[in-house]
Amino acid sequence: MSFNSRALSMNLNIDKAYKGLYSYSDQYSEVVYRQLMTDKEISYVSPQEETYTEHPTDDVKIPRLVDFTRGISNDIDAPYNCIGSVSDKYTFIGNNILVNSIRNSILNTGAPILEETTELFNNFTKLRSEISISSSQHSPIAGDVIPLIIVNNSYDGTKAASVSFGLTMRYNTERLSFAFKLGEIKQIHIVNSNTNIEAPIESYLQIFANNIDTMINDSFNQKLTEDEMLTTLDVIEDISKNRRTGVADLLKEMLPEVIEGEPPPLPSSWQIFLAIVRYSSFEQNLNVKRLLENAAQSALIIPNQMLNVLTRMENQRAQNN
């Protein structure tokens, strides 16, 4: 089915569908999709442009739509960002529709929501919403550690809607958050009445309560060899040399000063995890942020029970999509 025939079911505004224009806005941002035509001047005009003249012999519809985004503003003339195009087969999910669905699923499990933190990336095309749940576990090493449900969405067709599981905590005055790659549930089709995220949420909260302290303790007590430390830093260097330097500098802050004549101190798995997560908290590119979190996960000593449940959740949802 074409984008036009599915637009209403995807909760897009179709008031200007006769101009090849479809829009959606919520408290996060606004997005407009406009039919791509062979006439370049028509193809890339701003959504504010009202003129739309078709010349059947010259202008031919192409099965793609130009994608425009902007933030929420009282200025109706605020400019849009033209960010590329999506296929006519693209399935749109509004940020608020997705986040609200996951929020309701959390509440349906009986778990109270403590806080929501939302960031938008790449000219409002990507969203990361972190929902922390009031079910913290206290660790003598890390303090209060809170389970986190992370919702990701995009409007540019480059990333599927997804839900991840993670944690949030304080390090000195900083709020740190982290999402496991394990257990990530992709392709959340909210329009599908069979979609059920409540069971995975309940499973995660249970394994979080039973295993998070063990994970922190085991990671804290696991000293890395020099080769292991360098291997982890090399993974980050594959992303960017500057980011490797940034993580290495944060890691150095956590370690004792080098004593002359003695080998430099080596970090624990927990310390290198913290350094990577601290650095990722400043990252403005969502794709890079996820790569850094994957590197951080590789440093952790994850208990087998937690590892098995996260893997099983991911595999079960992959089979259902």
Residue pLDDT, tens place only, 86-107: 999 899 999 999 999 999 999 9
**Distance (Å, rounded) from C-alpha 20 to C-alpha 3?**
10
**Distance (Å, rounded) from C-alpha 148 to C-alpha 164?**
8
CB 304 within 8 A of CB 288: no
pLDDT at 57: 47
- pTM, two decimals, is 0.87
DSSP assignment, residue 1? -
Q: Which two tokens stand for residue 101?
A: 């669905």
Q: Which two tokens stand for residue 37?
A: 């035509």
pLDDT at 192: 46
CB 168 within 8 A of CB 176: yes
pLDDT at 216: 97
Q: Which residues of the chain have pLDDT under 50?
A: 40-43, 52, 54-57, 189-194
Which one-letter amino acid corresponds to residue 256?
P
**Distance (Å, rounded) from C-alpha 210 to C-alpha 81?**
46
Residue 241, Ramachandran bin (φ over 0: left; ψ between -120 and 50: alpha; else beta): alpha
Question: Would you list the domain boundaries of the chain?
Answer: 3-87, 93-321
pLDDT at 261: 62
The CA distances from residue 286 to 12, 127, 158, in Å, are 25, 9, 12
Question: 287 burial class (0-12, 13-18, 19+ CB within 10 angstroms)?
Answer: middle
pLDDT at 159: 84
